[in-house]
Structure 1
Amino acid sequence: MTELREKLSKAVIRVEHKSSTKTHKWISWESIKSITDEAGDVVGKLATSECHAEGLKKFALLKARRLVALLFHTRHEEWLERFYHNDFGDDMFPIEVKYEGSHRTVESTKTKRRAEFLEELFQYHDFDVICDMWQWMFFVPIFSQDDTAYVFDWRCQLPFVQELETSESNFSTVTHLVIHRGHLKFENDDQIGTVLDSDGNPHVAVKKLLTRGTAEKLQQVVENEASVLGRFQNHNHPHFVRAIARYTQENHHYFVFPWAKGGNLREFWDQQPSLSRASLNFSTHDWDTYIRWFFDQLVGLASAIKELHHPDEEFGVSCRHGDLKPENILCFSHDAPGPGKIPTSVKLVIADAGHAKVHEKVTELRQDITNTPAGTNTYKPPEVVYLPKEARSRRYDIWSLGCLYLEFIIWILYDRDGLQRFRTDIGPSEPFFKEHPEITVKDMVKKWIQYIKEDPRCSSTGPTALGRFVELIETRLLVVRIQRRQGSKPKHEAIDFPTEHPELSAEDSKLPLTMVTRPSFNINEPGANELERADAIEMVEVIQKIITRASGDSLPWISWDGMASTRSFWPTANLDTRAQTGSLRESNRAGLQGV
């Protein structure tokens, strides 16, 4: 028995929690199983009658391993037979002492079964200590995929083996922790288990929700995020983050997610050099692989949003994210990308459902006033300004994606320096649209788009996948209008994006034109010739068509012939808003200043 107790003592995990300045002690399920496997004979000898020895051993190994470890650790192994005769095993724990006047009782917190046979143990002064403290060291939760909303006692130890760092935002804190592999009933995939410690324990992110409002408001936030994350789980889409667990402890609400090694997309852009400056050092195959990875991520994010906006199942229930931005796009990868590497192992995943909203009816615009907070200022769409009291459309997300996609292309072509110049040009933390004299896409955004379209890599000898995608952003995503005007006819006609060389027909160039659909409007209506913003279905279809044609060699991913001109085609800061776009092809000396 002494040897068994020593093994249990050595198995205790001690974790320093920086947030609480406490040391948490617990024993993993893996250690309990290993140690109790060797305790069968010892347990059998605890039976007061030989005829009960075998039954006691089976009870201990099949139903009460944690209980056995607890009783041996506290030197009360002789109590085990009481539990055996009353069939009171691990599934009844934790237990709690209840007070009825001067009378004390013991019951299971799970089943509420009263354990009258334990009441005589109150004569032992340390029985209360076992209930209040020691049991929590052995009955540590195991998270599974059953989508249970756990509620834990404040004394419950959680299966974390290391706390690394904590960051805080307006709505939550996120703590980087390592969870014991034996307390996570999930198979490792392209999210869970991408980051492991030396013992094979997964790194996780634990998000604690914050609110400046009432407890009722916080509960609404919790239920909303849980609902959206549940939809993420149900879709099982590779570009939605997977929630590992949800739990409440001490009136605080937590969500557990896999840890993304690559951080978020903003951090990825800052830390991972793009291939742009070293473009001539890479082969056409490398560039094609790079741009194909880029498009795979674009269509992956778009298709994830499409599933939220237009679900196949549960007809009538739709959802929008409401806060799409680089900080809410996580970068999962088994391998850490670095300078000069093509980051094809990185998968972009949509996270942070805090602003998401589930709609019980599938409508583009509901008639009730929205109560959902606006997302980040930079990526918010114009309707937040010109329709402040209207319910927000699912096309809110389309604008946000258009902003994010444009920044992604700038990073691809001009590296983080070019992206920083773009942000400086449109104004730090400023949206992509202006309000005066009318609400429209900012001139600086338009000029950057034009600059990209004229980049030799996008248009040197004809259409490219990159060029087509920029046109999609310009003509279908960053569009102010989100709905047809009343009285307009929803008739659809096929159109195509303009090419850089209009004198070439699809037949002549052998380059199929990218086809999209748009509604035709009553030309007598004011502004009726304006397009409305695309929905997620159209966005996915167009991106997929670009990928299909580029994969089939009928459309180049990028113009290799334009690579030689790249060094003399590099943006500089402080684009002159008074300049004309026709001078965008000036030398590097003039750069964007010459526009």
Structure 2
Amino acid sequence: MNIKEFRQHLGLGLETHTSVKKSIKEKIKLCLVHNESESYSGSRKFLPIDKLDFILSLATIKALIREEYPEITDQQLSDKIGCYVARRRILGILLYMHPEHLKLLDGFNSEKVTDDDMPLTQTSSIHETRFRTRGGKENRTMLCKWEDNDITLLYQYQPIFFAPFFAIRKNRFCNYTFNEDVRLPWTKYKYKARGGNGTVHQVEIHPSHYKFESDATHNPVQFALKEIPTSEVDAYHQELLALEKAFPQIQKEKHLIKLLLTFRHGHKYYFLFEWADGNLEEYWNRYPETPEHTVERSIWMARQCSGLATAVKRIHGLATWQREQRERSDPSFLAVPGGKEKEWGRHGDIKPSNILWFSSYGKEGSLFVLSDLGLTRYHSSLTRSRVSPTSIDGCTEVYRPPEMDMPGQYICSKYDIWSLGCVFLELCTWWLGGLSSVREFEDQRAPEPGKIIEEPKYFFIPEETHSAQPQLKLVVVEWIKTLRSIAKGDLFAEPMLDLIENSMLVVNKHDRSAIDRVCAEISRIIEQLQKPGISINLCSISTTSNDLADNDSDESGNLGLVHRYENDKNKTTSLMVETLVQHTHRYWDPRSPGREPRLAIANSSNTSSADGELTDSGSDYKEEKLSVPSLHSNIRCIKPPDP
């Protein structure tokens, strides 16, 4: 095609006194996208993958070669195309530096440096000609004849063309490690909240830089990005361990937060989650009136409580598949009191603000999801009940259990039962009286005037006796009594209040129910609500929510297969873990065909389709072990137990 046709192809103005090379640089400049992130200073533009594919398509490469070599034969053209296709990003960098730098591509070809070897890493000074490829290979010759300014521009511009692609898998999660100069493909980056051990931003990822596989949502645009500061690196590893242990994505536990991926960018650590519409407190604020008490909504409420309890059960290690897994490894583990169970967890910070609300979750309608595992701790069977309150690093005062204030007491997983009971009581309060009742209940729990300022917790310790024992606050007892009078005949609230008072808000932790008992009781409530002929008297109708009952949580024992990248501590956390180091061009480019569960790299031979678009050749894929980690990622595969 002539220059006029070529510029029309790129959507540029009809200027005739120019060249293909200059037109490509012009189009690249027009297609750059600003990285939206407050952590960057100066210009942080990147070229999206879809724009790269369009600008440096097969048609563009043919036009570029024919302009550079007017007398080229068809056979020579075919040979050149293979060289250019394997170096499209390099080609873009060189033309962006200067259109006449196309000639430098021959050096990359002779040194066998392709896009899969990029970006390059300097070994010492800025003008040093020695570099390492992404795979760790050192080269001393390719840049030795380059001008100092060109070497500077090469390293300055290559991040523009290598914004990473994120694979967000349905049954696995990945951890990436990026150098500080890697430009993340955020098109929106908005501060939302700070608390616990991190800061949460709402981000949007450029559509061509991620692929989201999920049955529950429809390719979400927005995500929650949790940033862990460098000073809290231990907190990052602790939360990552908790998310790993809970295995929500493998178990398809809808009500436990699902980690999509993690990454390290320079010295900062990040978690990426789905973006929720709010938390439980915000849900109450959005629907402040007493909800309609239909059978369907009663079942929905009971199932949300069941789902949250099951999520806690997952953390506590009492889920069926976890029991079976331990039993296979040691059939006698249940025979000894205190047994040989390997690890037991505790969430440690259950509260309304840590329960997320998704207004639409696939076919499920609204969904409550337990989140923020930053304080979750796992302990062996020998120590799970011997954790001192003084070793608890952070909790929410309102929902802490009485044993936290008792000297000589130890903390166990029943800590969460108390906190969950508090949340369930507030949920029942909203169900029976709306947001105003939730606020009134909070005010009534507040300390009397003149007392030491404290949070409106649920228990108190009498001051008049030396060996005083904690007691449930009288206002809490009276509040439950009031709710019972309102809830008579309510097949959701009435039995829930029984469960809360008799099994959960029990001051003596030894008499407090374990989470499996709580789950069983809520399951019975759901069974009663599902019996034929059940009808519930209607209360005042104010909410406009269209929430419907969801399906029961999946209790399948099929773990599937998780792919995740090795964390910075470089150590396994499970007997099911094996460590691999692989190199994959999917890190920068999503177009490779899926060969699940193995990740691989394609050889440099690519073919083109008849319509001028680049296609993969279908050539053999191979695994490649690397000795020097650079910008590539370490993959750790977590395998399922034998059936």
1:476 and 2:503 aligned: yes
5+ residue gaps in structure 1?
195-201, 280-285, 337-342, 484-531, 567-595
Distance 1:236 1:117 in 2: 52
Partner residue, 1:403: 422
Following TM superposition, by how much is the alpha carbon of 1:320 offset from its aligned partner in structure 2, in angstroms? 1.8
Following TM superposition, by how much is the alpha carbon of 1:54 offset from its aligned partner in structure 2, in angstroms? 2.4
Change (3 A) 1:43 1:304: farther
Distance 2:409 2:460 in 1: 19
1:202-245 Cα shifts (integer Å, max 9, x gaps): 1112111248xxx4xx2221111111122334433111222222
Q: For residue 61 of structure 2, what is the amino acid of its counterpart?
A: G
1:4 and 2:35 aligned: no
Correspondent of 1:294 among 279, 291, 301: 301
Change (3 A) 1:554 1:358: farther
Following TM superposition, by how much is the alpha carbon of 1:24 offset from its aligned partner in structure 2, in angstroms? 2.4
Is residue 25–residue 95 contact of structure 2 (8 Å, CA) maintained in 1?
Answer: yes
1:438 and 2:469 aligned: yes
Following TM superposition, by how much is the alpha carbon of 1:188 offset from its aligned partner in structure 2, in angstroms? 4.6
Following TM superposition, by how much is the alpha carbon of 1:332 offset from its aligned partner in structure 2, in angstroms? 1.4
Partner residue, 1:198: none
1:81-123 Cα shifts (integer Å, max 9, x gaps): 3323433222222211213899640112x31111334222532
Partner residue, 2:279: 264
Change (3 A) 1:64 1:332: farther
Partner residue, 2:112: 87
Distance 2:226 2:513 in 1: 33
Q: For residue 29 of structure 1, what is the amino acid of its counterpart?
A: I
Distance 2:43 2:384 in 1: 51
SS at match of 2:26: helix
Q: For residue 400 of structure 1, what is the amino acid of its counterpart?
A: S
1:227 and 2:241 aligned: yes
Is residue 104–residue 119 contact of structure 1 (8 Å, CA) maintained in 2?
Answer: yes
What is the correspondence of 1:57-456 to structure 2 with a 5 Å cutoff? 57-61=81-85, 63-75=86-98, 76-99=101-124, 104-108=129-133, 110-123=134-147, 125-131=149-155, 133-144=156-167, 145=169, 147-190=173-216, 193-194=219-220, 202-210=221-229, 215=231, 218-230=232-244, 231-260=247-276, 262-276=277-291, 279=292, 287-309=294-316, 310-311=318-319, 312-313=321-322, 315=326, 316-334=342-360, 345-361=365-381, 365-366=385-386, 371-386=391-406, 390=410, 392-427=411-446, 429-436=455-462, 437-455=468-486
Change (3 A) 1:372 1:72: farther
SS at match of 1:365: coil
Distance 1:169 1:180 in 2: 27
1:517-555 Cα shifts (integer Å, max 9, x gaps): xxxxxxxxxxxxxxx111111111110111012111376
Change (3 A) 1:55 1:543: farther
Partner residue, 2:625: none
Is residue 36–residue 188 contact of structure 2 (8 Å, CA) maintained in 1?
Answer: yes
Q: For residue 301 of structure 1, what is the amino acid of its counterpart?
A: L
Query: Which of 446-455 and 326-335 deviates more?
Result: 326-335
Is residue 382–residue 433 contact of structure 1 (8 Å, CA) maintained in 2?
Answer: yes
Distance 2:158 2:37 in 1: 20
Distance 1:267 1:100 in 2: 53
Query: Which of 532-541 and 463-472 deviates more?
Result: 463-472
SS at match of 1:471: helix
1:39 and 2:60 aligned: yes
Partner residue, 2:520: 541
Change (3 A) 1:367 1:20: closer
SS at match of 1:438: coil
Following TM superposition, by how much is the alpha carbon of 1:355 offset from its aligned partner in structure 2, in angstroms? 0.3
Following TM superposition, by how much is the alpha carbon of 1:479 offset from its aligned partner in structure 2, in angstroms? 1.1
Distance 2:209 2:181 in 1: 18
Following TM superposition, by how much is the alpha carbon of 1:424 offset from its aligned partner in structure 2, in angstroms? 0.3
Distance 1:362 1:464 in 2: 40
Distance 2:25 2:126 in 1: 37
TM (normalized to structure 1)? 0.74
Following TM superposition, by how much is the alpha carbon of 1:448 offset from its aligned partner in structure 2, in angstroms? 0.9
Change (3 A) 1:192 1:319: farther
Distance 1:431 1:371 in 2: 20
Is residue 295–residue 534 contact of structure 2 (8 Å, CA) maintained in 1?
Answer: no
Change (3 A) 1:299 1:554: farther
Distance 1:113 1:29 in 2: 26
Change (3 A) 1:265 1:59: farther
Partner residue, 2:561: none
SS at match of 2:173: coil
Distance 1:420 1:369 in 2: 29
Q: For residue 406 of structure 1, what is the amino acid of its counterpart?
A: L
Following TM superposition, by how much is the alpha carbon of 1:432 offset from its aligned partner in structure 2, in angstroms? 0.9
Change (3 A) 1:254 1:335: closer
Distance 2:283 2:250 in 1: 28
Distance 1:36 1:182 in 2: 16
RMSD (Å), alpha carbons: 3.1
Distance 2:408 2:251 in 1: 31
5+ residue gaps in structure 2?
1-19, 327-341, 447-453, 463-467, 543-643
Is residue 106–residue 116 contact of structure 1 (8 Å, CA) maintained in 2?
Answer: yes
Is residue 235–residue 307 contact of structure 1 (8 Å, CA) maintained in 2?
Answer: no
Q: Number of aligned pairs?
A: 480
Query: Which of 406-415 and 110-119 deviates more?
Result: 110-119
SS at match of 1:239: coil
Is residue 127–residue 148 contact of structure 2 (8 Å, CA) maintained in 1?
Answer: no
Partner residue, 2:582: none
Q: For residue 244 of structure 1, what is the amino acid of its counterpart?
A: L
Query: Which of 77-86 and 438-447 deviates more?
Result: 77-86
Is residue 192–residue 258 contact of structure 1 (8 Å, CA) maintained in 2?
Answer: no
Distance 2:456 2:407 in 1: 18
Following TM superposition, by how much is the alpha carbon of 1:389 offset from its aligned partner in structure 2, in angstroms? 6.0
Change (3 A) 1:367 1:465: closer
Following TM superposition, by how much is the alpha carbon of 1:135 offset from its aligned partner in structure 2, in angstroms? 0.7
Percent of pairs with identical residues: 24
SS at match of 2:56: helix
Following TM superposition, by how much is the alpha carbon of 1:31 offset from its aligned partner in structure 2, in angstroms? 1.5
Change (3 A) 1:138 1:360: farther
Distance 1:317 1:105 in 2: 49
Q: For residue 297 of structure 2, what is the amino acid of its counterpart?
A: Y
Change (3 A) 1:554 1:156: same
SS at match of 1:393: coil
Change (3 A) 1:407 1:59: farther
SS at match of 1:178: strand
